[in-house]
Structure 1
């Protein structure tokens, strides 16, 4: 079973820039898409579904919220839109497809990089406060998920890197959201206390394995990279990981795709 996770920074533009051409070469079973920036109904209306796939998408009240989706070659048993958190669900930040032996979700955290102190207009909350609230709510959801007998793969843009090896030195010196101490501590709890698995890091411990080169920092594809895109696993499928890599060669987004292979039969 091959799972791709990719934050596209606008699906329509990504397709124009070769996303589907790239995807046709991947032979992926499931593709977790984040930050599509459009209405869910437009995905079909504008023919933004790659050949051979079914599409399930959720949008936010505003296109800027991003929205997430799943392309799959296999019909799911069920689709879950949201994770029962009112704010996150209004913003279209979670969708889950249940298959026979595993569930796969696509997740998008709010981005506060470069806008940390900007006010949201809601109860004097800053953009960083808004992100922190989402992470707290998603952490509670992950606690419940990790206690279930069912196994899960979550393709997630968490807008946060974990260790110093996951971020360029610029982030070590500056107070940018995405590498703040309390954000990294949240990931400590997720991985070290809750037992969630960072699939890519199970097989690749090298430094400079980045998935995002924010234009706000130093220009896309330059040295200021950071690894904010993950495939999160429940511990029961840790040993099914066969291979995985980050593909920075595709130019349809300023994020690189995370591609992982698992020894899991997805079909019925």
Structure 2
């Protein structure tokens, strides 16, 4: 059995986090696979320090709009293939999805939409959720083991945010968004962090406006989900809350294949 460590992190701008020691952190941490979200850059805008990291293959998916969205994978293991998007133009144009086939498992690196800006964006978010679940279910139906990571932009239960009552009418904790996570889990997926850790006060995002991180007034909106058929391979799922540089912190998953 080979142990693989995967880290997922919404970096809130890859060029910004590079100035805060991102590459040095990656070289120290040495995950087998690093998935990042919200790169806010197209590949041609990145310097060599970001596109060529020793020991890693790097893959980027960008939004058509500059300075917006975007995901990337740094991987010591070379995947058999990488797909960008679900094949639906309105979603794929925002550069939110990478699906890497590692043979033993399919890895989804996803930056799910935020619904706070407008009713239209909330509708878009819910449509994206459903398109993702349909695609994931199709892959799972073919017997694939799925590991799904990224910024889901919704806290599931009251335990997953510091101020649940005050946020009941805010996108990110709306009943319809939380019910969609219920639906996801009912389709045979597992919230791996909650599988291993039940305690409160564990968050992955803090508002930068209110010194929320110092007070741990946060939200858990970044997840590793796994299809039930992959759970025997997973030994731990955790939050790396000490890592700074973004308004999110990284999360990790250990698996054996």
State the TM-score, normalizing by the size of structure 2: 0.91
Matched, 1:254 2:247: yes
Instruction: Give 1:105 deviation, angstroms.
Output: 1.9
> What runs of 5+ residues in structure 1 fail to find an aligned partner?
118-125
> Take 1:64 and 1:224, find their aligned partners in 2: how far apart are those partners?
28
Stretches (4+) displaced over 6 A: none
Summarize deviations over 1:10-42 as a string: whole Å, max 9, x none: 001111112222222322111111000000233
> Take 1:201 and 1:148, find their aligned partners in 2: how far apart are those partners?
26
Match of 1:102 among 101, 105, 112: 105
Q: 1:64 to 1:184 in 2, by over 3 A?
A: farther
> Take 1:4 and 1:156, find their aligned partners in 2: how far apart are those partners?
10
Q: 1:12 to 1:220 in 2, by over 3 A?
A: farther
Check the 8 A contact 1:152/1:234 in 2, yes or no: yes
Matched, 1:177 2:171: yes
**Structure 2 partner of 1:53:** 56
Check the 8 A contact 1:146/1:196 in 2, yes or no: no
**Structure 2 partner of 1:145:** 139
**Structure 1 partner of 2:86:** 83
> Take 1:35 and 1:139, find their aligned partners in 2: how far apart are those partners?
21
1:63 counterpart SS class = coil
1:1-268 correspondence to structure 2 within 5 Å? 1-43=4-46, 45-49=47-51, 50-113=53-116, 115-117=117-119, 126-169=120-163, 171-174=164-167, 175-191=169-185, 193-215=186-208, 218-221=210-213, 222-264=215-257
> Take 1:33 and 1:155, find their aligned partners in 2: how far apart are those partners?
9
Q: 1:148 to 1:41 in 2, by over 3 A?
A: farther
**Structure 2 partner of 1:123:** none
> Take 2:225 and 2:256, find their aligned partners in 1: how far apart are those partners?
16
Check the 8 A contact 1:4/1:28 in 2, yes or no: yes
Aligned length: 251
Check the 8 A contact 1:2/1:262 in 2, yes or no: yes
Instruction: Give 1:143 deviation, angstroms.
Output: 2.2
State the TM-score, normalizing by the size of structure 1: 0.88
What is the aligned-residue RMSD (CA, Å)?
1.7
Check the 8 A contact 2:224/2:237 in 1, yes or no: no
Instruction: Give 1:245 deviation, angstroms.
Output: 1.6
2:50 counterpart SS class = coil
Summarize deviations over 1:77-114 as a string: whole Å, max 9, x none: 1111111121110101101111131121210111123x
Instruction: Give 1:220 deviation, angstroms.
Output: 4.5
